[in-house]
Structure 1
Amino acid sequence: MLAALREVGTVHCSIGLHRDDVGDVSVADSRGPLFSLFTVSWRETGVAPRGVTAARAVTSADGHAQIGFAELPCGPATFSETAATPAPGSGLPQRPLLQLHAYLPHPDCRRLAVLTLTTTAPGRRDEYRAILRLIAESVSFENPLGEASGGS
């Protein structure tokens, strides 16, 4: 799985298992633990203004919903979500998956950071959107080690 993620530019992956502490027993997802997968990936892009790159990221793929644009401390960003169910016969549980995406163009205008939060709890959509938004707001393209270490 990690090799497959790496092939598509993934540089970070975190797997989450969370207790559903919201307490709303009317939501079907609240019967057990909540699962999530968070990834950070890099995509090469054609040179374009950062706002254009962010917009292209959500308009070039099918199935994106809840599309939004924001000016974050690191620059322009777009947010979207997609929903899917694993194909029958894939060996995966037939639970719906919600993927929330944040697209953050790098200041060099040649790369795009893609933050993706996937969950098997679409009933907790608002909570996961808030989590991804907070993560995206914390992104910085500055090198914490300074220029001597070779840039960002």
Structure 2
Amino acid sequence: MLTNVLSAASQRVLEGVLSWPFPRPAARALVERDDEYLFVAVEMAGERLWILPGGGVEAGESPREAAAREVLEETGLDVTVGDPVDAFAFESSVGAHVATVFRCTAPRGDLTTDENPDVEPIVDARWVPADEVSDLSLPSELAPVVDRCC
């Protein structure tokens, strides 16, 4: 399955989604609990968009480890990272990325947003019922992934 996910991501890169020759690996977490999904909000060009928690893979870190670290940093939750379920390419203000999306589970706990400034600072985090996910304002690159996975 991972081969298919990575092949799809590679195809999107070849189709011109990215203009940079060497995208940075990234990880995103599709965190599910009690038929709800975890989303975090960022402000981009004056617009609030909802994204899956995650970010760039650091040197010496696996994408799976990056997904767990980013969720903890962005929401305060210590998740269990499962299998990869999808991948997508996107560009941010710091360059091009190819993100692997991992299915994750989370224990009960309060959500907190990270106070450290970041390229995409998190302004909110919330659990979204599965039947309300389609109402969220998502980045265009992420919307098809959410449609397939939620």
Does TM, scored on the shorter chain, surpass 0.5?
Answer: no
Q: TM-score range by the shorter chain?
A: under 0.3
* Structure with bigger gyration radius: 1
**Greater relative contact order (Cα < 8 A, sep 6+):** 2
